[in-house]
Chains A and B, each alone.
Chain A
Amino acid sequence: MKHTKLRHALTLGVFILIVGGFCVLRLVVSPPAILSSERRRPAKLPDFTLSNVLDARFTNGFEPFAADTFPFRETMRTIRAKTVFDVFRQTDKSGLFTYNLGGTVGAGKFAAVNEAEYRKFTAKINAVTERYLGDLNVFYAVIPDKSAYVDGDYPDYDHELAAGILADALPKLTAIDLYPALDASSFYRTDLHWDQTKIGAVVNMIVGSAYEFNDTVTVGDFRGVYAGQIALPLEPDAMSYVPVPHVTAEYLGEDMAFHGGAVYDLGADGFGSVDPYNLFLRGPQSLIVLTNTETDSARHLYIFRDSFSSSLAPLIAETGAYKTVTLIDLRYIDWRLLEQMVTFEPNSDALFLYGAQVLNDASIQKVNA
């Protein structure tokens, strides 16, 4: 009886302590301006107005605000991740999984090939090719997802399946098979992207050279997008870049004119931004022209691309195989306006280069094929 009373009192005390404690903490602890691991701002509390209350906009917006500004949110996310992997012994958390690479843990995401999305995507590639690239040598390559290279029984990227779909859907284009040029160590452990210092073989495969990139500069630790999503305390990667002294970059500005800028941006818009991968060519950009100032080549390369090319293209330009490398990101530019900003030189090369996960979501390429 005595024990029962004490048990009830302790149970009650624990409940009040936790519920009341967090209730008070949310009042006294200021929420962060940025949820850095999730690379976004916390949801804002909707304005408390009569119209917002009556049409439930206030109440519907309250729960995301309450969750985003919850005290010790990052710790709570880690508790969930630990429960998923260590208590429930699940092998993934909403498609995110961990793997071991030389004794260090990395994270990846399922990227099973979605044939329907691949078909939509390739229809868009064909449309762009037909309109602009009739006089060019047009190539394509898919960047295999790193899940294809790590051990595990995950529903991962099937390179043969992807290659077969693309070959069937892009009969007029020439394929470049990047699969043999990569392995698990080619990618950041904590991010989906490849590590620029480990993709020399990819560069040489694309340009047909035997160029060697020996110098690297390390700028700091890098916790990639998967580290934030999976919410486990993963050891950070090292963020390094390969110097490209012969390459200059010009970016298309909001004034629709090109402006010179650094290839590697160590400032607030680059490595210091929410996504440190923006070190390479300042992250999301609609149009960039890289020029090799030393080469004798007069050839041009046009890359239709996603973020992987931000780290690859400077290396291609540095080889001197091309005078210019133009990077076109159709997510940020209307393809119908391309001819106003890009002159596609006849007999040049064009390359459609996309990561497997981007190919799985055709909707992000705003091309009305």
Chain B
Amino acid sequence: MLFSGITFLFWFLPTVLAVYFILPTRRGNMLVRNTWLLLASLVFYAWGEPKFAILMIAQIISGWVFGLLIERGRGTKASKYALIACLAVGLGGLAFFKYADFFLANLNLIPHVDIPLLRIALPIGISFYTFQILSYDIDLYRGETAVQRNVLTFATYVSLFPQLIAGPIVRYVDVERELTARTHSVENFAVGTRRFVAGLAKKVLIANVLAEFVALVGAQNTTLAAWLYAIAYGLQIYYDFSGYTDMAIGLGLMFGFKFLENFNYPYIADSITDFWRRWHISLSTWFRDYVYIPLGGNRRGAARQVLNILVVWTLTGFWHGAGWNFILWGAYFGVLLLIEKFVLAKFLDKLPSALRHLYVILLILVSWIFFASTSAHEIGARLGALVGSGTLSVSPPVTEYYLRSYAVPLVIALFGATPLPKRLLSHLETSKYAPILTVLEPLAVAALLIVSTAYLVDGSFNPFIYFRF
């Protein structure tokens, strides 16, 4: 089920909210409400592909059982073995369901090897919930969190529908307390509502509209179209994913959870290092804490650090999809980060701010071409088109027509990707005009919700890019 769908907005969500707030919380005990959230989350997940709900439940139970074993064997090797087994089951499931055909297809490139592909559909959100389960068991093994003995509470944590299928990757330690004792308030609900509706509008009114533009200019073989494609795709994926995150965080607030931020205006970054502190924060910190640092981080000399960075970023790319373009995309960032760290760092510091931003934007735009392409040929063609190679013309009338037609959504998207709207709002909140927000905010929420619904009712283009991960 999609957040940006009529089924979710006007069937699922009101039902879940109404029952949730009717259910009692005896002396602050959240078990009944958690059980309802768990049931709702299972329906939410099973809506797309019912059979994969069984896989998720199996992964949840295994993660929970391994947690108990890690705790029971604490101080002995049994704890370590339990963690290893947990990693094997979690990562094994991910490898099988997400990567099996990729491995087989590459094996088949060897002469005389012809292994039939398994053609398994990718279970939605498997990359996200697997990482959440692993974070719990690793943190438990490290002694950074307490064991959760109630399987329903643990299952609620993993399957919590606001963040289940496209993140952010919520760690158990971050919601441990809220799972058993959380507060609900009009303020939290209202802030959550505002955040949810903003995310919905980002997704439906910006990302989906840009997706149309991306498809139109992506089919044009001109230099202008190649640049527009890269820029628009970069904005589309940002609004698509950050919009989803906003909806997740907003829904979390409605139910009393405070999820960590996943984006912090990544396109204003002044270095690639800075970009990855601002983009998909929950994923980059996950890899930092559970892969990079355990590998030795920067504590074992420069050569090992180089290797660690390359491994982590290649894995980051691979996490995004079972394709060489994703591996290339991750490795590309690994190399860029190494160059920045060991070569460019001091030089970049001396550059004017505008040039630093230009440097980042250009490299990020190129990265999206790796990300969005499905073959080496396409990557080559799109990169070549950026410099006029292989294009029919620089700027034909049809490309210019599409640019004019989508100019306003593009400008809105560019403006919204900066902190300026937030700064304006903050300024307004502290000015003498603050009372106007009392009317303006509810009106804006109503307008965005109705217009977004209108787009959904009229059946506009509506896929989530990050669902395939």
Contact = CB atoms under 8 A, between A and B. Distances in A.
Interface in B420-469: 434-435, 437-439, 441-443, 445-446, 449-451, 453-460
Contacts of A73: 457
Interface string A62-75: 11001100100100
A336 interface: no
Interface in A1-56: 3, 5-15, 18-20, 22-23, 26, 53-56
Closest 6 CB pairs of A and B: A8-B190, A79-B454, A10-B442, A66-B6, A80-B454, A76-B454
B404 interface: yes
B398 A11 contact: no
A54 B7 contact: no
Interface in B44-80: 46-51
Nearest to A7: B438
A83 interface: yes
Given A15-B445, A23-B14, A67-B6, A77 B438 contact: no
B189 A91 contact: no
B14 A19 contact: yes
Given A11-B193, A67-B456, A91 B405 contact: yes
A8 B191 CA distance: 7
Contacts of B449: 14-15, 18-19
Contact of A79 (B6, B401, B450): B450
B197 A15 contact: yes
Q: Which of B189, B405, B439, B446 has the most CB of A within 10 A?
A: B405
A90 B445 contact: no
Question: Which bucket holds chain B's interface residue count?
Answer: 35 or more
Contacts of A80: 451, 454-455, 457-458, 460
A98 to B, nearest CB: 13
A155 interface: yes
Nearest to A90: B405
Contacts of B453: 22, 70, 76
A155 B398 contact: yes
A59 B44 CA distance: 10
Contacts of A63: 5-7
A94 interface: yes
B9 A19 contact: yes
Nearest to A62: B7
A155 B212 CA distance: 16
Interface string B350-366: 00000000000000000
A3 B438 contact: yes
A28 to B, nearest CB: 13
A117 interface: no
B193 A12 contact: yes
B306 to A, nearest CB: 46
28 contacts: A3-B437, A8-B186, A10-B438, A11-B190, A11-B441, A12-B189, A12-B193, A18-B446, A18-B449, A18-B450, A19-B9, A22-B453, A59-B46, A59-B48, A66-B6, A66-B7, A70-B10, A76-B458, A79-B450, A80-B454, A83-B455, A88-B409, A90-B405, A91-B401, A91-B405, A92-B405, A153-B401, A153-B404
A56 B404 CA distance: 41
A132 interface: no
Interface string A139-165: 000000000000001110000000000
A89 interface: yes
B207 to A, nearest CB: 14
Q: Which of B189, B212, B407, B442 has the most CB of A within 10 A?
A: B442
B125 to A, nearest CB: 15
B7 A14 contact: no
A91 B398 CA distance: 13
B81 interface: no
A3 B1 CA distance: 37
B283 interface: no
A19 B50 contact: no
A299 B392 CA distance: 50
A12 B195 CA distance: 12
Contact of B454 (A5, A8, A83, A92): A83
Contacts of B1: 59
A53 B50 contact: yes
Contacts of B438: 3, 6-7, 10
B406 interface: yes
Contacts of A79: 450-451, 454
A184 to B, nearest CB: 19
B175 interface: no
A14 B445 contact: yes
B117 to A, nearest CB: 22
B193 A15 contact: yes
Contacts of B441: 7, 10-11
Nearest to A6: B438
B445 A88 contact: no
A91 B404 contact: yes
B83 interface: no
A76 B208 CA distance: 17
A11 B10 contact: no
A231 interface: yes
B193 A67 contact: no
A8 B19 CA distance: 22
A77 B454 CA distance: 6
Contacts of A62: 7
A173 to B, nearest CB: 30
Given A76-B457, A80-B458, A54 B190 contact: no
A92 B51 CA distance: 41
Nearest to B437: A7
Interface in B395-413: 397-398, 401, 404-409, 412
